[in-house]
Structure 1
Amino acid sequence: MWRCPLGLLLLLSLAGHVALGAKQGRVRRELAPGLHLRGIRDAGGRYCQEQDLCCRGRADDCALPYLGAICYCDLFCNRTVSDCCPDFWDFCLGVPPPFPPIQGCMHGGRIYPVLGTYWDNCNRCWQAGNHSAFWGMTLDEGIRYRLGTIRPSSLVMNMHEIYTVLNPGEVLPTAFEASEKWPNLIHEPLDQGNCAGSWAFSTAAVASDRVSIHSLGHMTPVLSPQNLLSCDTHQQQGCRGGRLDGAWWFLRRRGVVSDHCYPFSGHEQDEAGPTPPCMMHSRAMGRGKRQATARCPNSHVNNNDIYQVTPVYRLGSNDKEIMKELMENGPVQALMEVHEDFFLYKGGIYSHTPVSLGRPERHRRHGTHSVKITGWGEETLPDGRTLKYWTAANSWGPAWGERGHFRIVRGVNECDIESFVLGVWGRVGMEDMGHH
């Protein structure tokens, strides 16, 4: 539990007595300003548990000070409006809260709820918000349906790293964005919906940008995640998860068509729903090139060119090496661990806030995801420290985060984002330079 400065604690207790006095005798308790219609906007914490307080029926004195308002530990608290203390459901009822706790941010040893303004503004706080796409989803479902990259085997994790050497005296810029160096060649994020297919989406996203860059803009395809989901079936599970090494093998040996030609069929939460069968195969044409054996599944598109890549390579996990590779050759693919608070990210520089520590395990689950890193930057905090970050594209659509992108702390392997980073070259021959 966070420890309050004594003055603040007194202030909260005072507010508590005032509010308690005012509430006595009311038929229906009304929400105090620190509360919210769907429940308390808090990042967790121990209230009922700390005082060992759980009351039967309605008990107006079964209350605790809560951020300048009052929260209750009685069985009445969730009847008309939810003014229960944040840990009431866990501690008193032994059930998960009916809504996920909203993340807060830590400042001076205290957790503050977001969507509030504080005079002593918490300076290292990313913004959380509620995404309509996730309404009604449990954390378990979010992890099951919205991620979908299987952690690589130890053999793949030990893949030989290619070390990028910085020349003596070489200084990398403090900020870089791929879309500024290569305008019109860096593609916007797609939306994987409730398909646990980030393995296919991030691979297609990085390959799209790199084929565009390495062909000098002669080919600018948005490559098809569906082609991978439906056709890369060797030890892959489509919308139930897959492996990055398998996806890159498929792109090198078989190739994929554009997203226009083979659009995403979407996938709602349905455990039984099989991945749609593969509609596109390719055959060798000689010189390593391949051609499609069928027309596009989208009958309005005729261009069924197959795009391929060279063998994938792994970068060292030093942030300078990743930066140099990104700046010279284009966006890279990164594996990352997604925690419960990442689903609520709305903006700012993300770092995982371990506010769910001490809560039941079901609130602390996490899963492996893969994303496209597109650049980096740094920000000076009010106290003069510098906060370095990566910019990256997710595959949860443009309404999530910063127009589908996010920033995450750089240089400290936040959420394992620097532990397994991959690059690849688009397979581009001289003949490809002649047509679009």
Structure 2
Amino acid sequence: MAFNLHFKLVALAALFLLGAWESLATARTFEKTSLFLSHQRWMTLHGRTYKDEAEKEKRFYIFKENVKFIEDFNKAGNRSYKLGTNKFTDLTKEEFRATLLNKEKSLRPKTLQPAFFLNESLDQAPNSLDWREQGAVTDIKDQGNCGCCWAFAVVAAVEGLTKIKTGQLISLSEQQLLDCDLTSDGCGGGIRTEAFQFIKDNGGLVTESDYPYEGAQESCNTQNLGTPAATISGYQEVAPTESALLAAVTNQPVSVGITIGGDVFQHYKTGVFTGDEGDCGSGYRHAVTIIGYGTSDDGEDYWLVKNSWGNSWGESGYMKMARGINEDGVCQVNTRASYPTA
């Protein structure tokens, strides 16, 4: 009797373990199936196709790892911003950096010492500002697989100035800068102040429709472009202080360079990005345009930033970056700002 009871208990235990293993296997299969369907929906949403099944399997694995990173980050709940999927979710951080960012050395300035903004008094500065509300910001654009963020940041600033001085919001040509500004490295990086200088020397920029964006550097087209749609008299660098940058932004959209390279920037979705715990990263730079500033419902001061990665990234293509973090600003945003002059 004792032997039979022992045998039955062992058998029941074995059945329990087998059931547990099967349940675990089923859960894992369900999880993989769910992720597979999520990947399929993501591919449809972003129009993504792959050359073969091997590439699809590779991208699915990267997608899965990135989704886990995003979910773990958000569950931790220790930041003032959240991450989310976007069109970069099937890229490794190395691929993302190589495609969208510029190596630190590519964007070293070659210009004169910066000067303080001419009207730096902030006595009349509003508590918040959004140049979109003044009609001075064109729709979000997408630089694609070309690291020419510098051109988009410069053009956005010129578009803003053009609206302010003429009353017309005109989408201008990044491709003209990319092709014709020979001081730049094209998709490998460029210097925003030298791009402003090119626009001045060139007599301005034509419209986006006259010289459409191709996502790659081509030969400079000088034929049949017509009259430039926007001109500038030069540019001004902003002193590397937050007050000088704020004074500049109260007058017009301003192009800035930031230091990034951390994983989270790739997946930013919403909230005030503070750059905590090394989230900015290092070794790479990116150029964006500050189009305003404000304070969140939680009392966090921020810059309102226009990016050039399409509207699936961030808050429909925009980002809030913290103000008042430190002397250099979050991701060194205070240190390399410039804007065109009328």
Cα distance between partner residues in 1 of 2:68 and 2:119 = 43
Stretches of structure 2 lacking an aligned partner (at least 5 in a row): 1-15, 37-60
Cα distance between partner residues in 1 of 2:224 and 2:175 = 15
With over 3 angstroms needed to count, the CA separation of the structure-2 counterparts of 1:186 and 1:365, relative to structure 1, is closer
Cα distance between partner residues in 1 of 2:131 and 2:124 = 18
Aligned to 2:5: none
The structure 1 residue matched to 2:188, chosen from 227, 240, 255, is 240
SS in 1 for 2:232: coil
Aligned to 1:188: 139
- TM-score when normalising by structure 2: 0.75
2:256·2:336 contact (CA, 8 Å) conserved in 1? yes
Cα distance between partner residues in 1 of 2:165 and 2:336 = 23
Pairing 1:392-431 to 2, within 5 Å after superposition: 392-412=305-325, 413-426=329-342
Does the alignment pair 1:128 with 2:70? no
1:388·1:410 contact (CA, 8 Å) conserved in 2? yes
Amino acid at match of 2:219: P
Cα distance between partner residues in 2 of 1:166 and 1:352 = 27
Amino acid at match of 1:170: D
The structure 2 residue matched to 1:278, chosen from 220, 223, 227, is 220
The structure 1 residue matched to 2:155, chosen from 180, 198, 204, is 204
2:154·2:255 contact (CA, 8 Å) conserved in 1? yes
Aligned to 1:376: 293
Alignment root-mean-square deviation, CA: 3.3
1:125-153 CA distance string (max 9 Å, x none): 3121111x214322122112213486543
Cα distance between partner residues in 1 of 2:101 and 2:129 = 27
Aligned to 2:249: 326
Does the alignment pair 1:29 with 2:50? no
Cα distance between partner residues in 2 of 1:224 and 1:97 = 33
1:146-181 CA distance string (max 9 Å, x none): 13486543654x6222245554x825322111122x
The structure 2 residue matched to 1:99, chosen from 52, 65, 84, is 65
With over 3 angstroms needed to count, the CA separation of the structure-2 counterparts of 1:161 and 1:356, relative to structure 1, is closer
With over 3 angstroms needed to count, the CA separation of the structure-2 counterparts of 1:325 and 1:239, relative to structure 1, is same
Stretches of structure 1 lacking an aligned partner (at least 5 in a row): 1-19, 40-88, 90-95, 106-111, 268-274, 281-293, 297-302, 358-363, 427-436
SS in 1 for 2:303: strand
With over 3 angstroms needed to count, the CA separation of the structure-2 counterparts of 1:209 and 1:139, relative to structure 1, is same
With over 3 angstroms needed to count, the CA separation of the structure-2 counterparts of 1:152 and 1:239, relative to structure 1, is closer
Does the alignment pair 1:343 with 2:266? yes
Higher relative contact order, structure no. (Cα contacts within 8 Å, ≥ 6 residues apart): 2
The structure 2 residue matched to 1:174, chosen from 127, 132, 153, is 127
Cα distance between partner residues in 1 of 2:155 and 2:238 = 19
2:206·2:229 contact (CA, 8 Å) conserved in 1? yes
1:320-378 CA distance string (max 9 Å, x none): 322222222x1001101222211101111112343789xxxxxx665201001011111
1:253·1:308 contact (CA, 8 Å) conserved in 2? no
Does the alignment pair 1:229 with 2:178? yes
Amino acid at match of 1:191: D
The structure 2 residue matched to 1:295, chosen from 224, 228, 252, is 224
Cα distance between partner residues in 1 of 2:19 and 2:176 = 61
Count of residue pairs brought into register by the alignment: 294
With over 3 angstroms needed to count, the CA separation of the structure-2 counterparts of 1:391 and 1:22, relative to structure 1, is farther
Cα distance between partner residues in 2 of 1:211 and 1:348 = 30
Cα distance between partner residues in 2 of 1:397 and 1:30 = 38
With over 3 angstroms needed to count, the CA separation of the structure-2 counterparts of 1:266 and 1:173, relative to structure 1, is same
Instruction: Compare the two structures and name the one with the higher helix fraction.
Output: 2
SS in 1 for 2:97: helix
Aligned to 1:258: 207
Cα distance between partner residues in 1 of 2:27 and 2:245 = 50
1:295·1:304 contact (CA, 8 Å) conserved in 2? no
The structure 2 residue matched to 1:309, chosen from 232, 235, 243, is 232
SS in 1 for 2:140: coil
1:261-305 CA distance string (max 9 Å, x none): 0000124xxxxxxx211112xxxxxxxxxxxxx214xxxxxx543
Aligned to 2:115: 161
Amino acid at match of 2:108: S
With over 3 angstroms needed to count, the CA separation of the structure-2 counterparts of 1:232 and 1:422, relative to structure 1, is same
Cα distance between partner residues in 2 of 1:146 and 1:161 = 30
1:372·1:394 contact (CA, 8 Å) conserved in 2? yes
Cα distance between partner residues in 2 of 1:304 and 1:23 = 76
Amino acid at match of 2:221: M
SS in 2 for 1:276: coil
With over 3 angstroms needed to count, the CA separation of the structure-2 counterparts of 1:377 and 1:22, relative to structure 1, is farther
1:256 deviates by 2.0
With over 3 angstroms needed to count, the CA separation of the structure-2 counterparts of 1:407 and 1:27, relative to structure 1, is closer
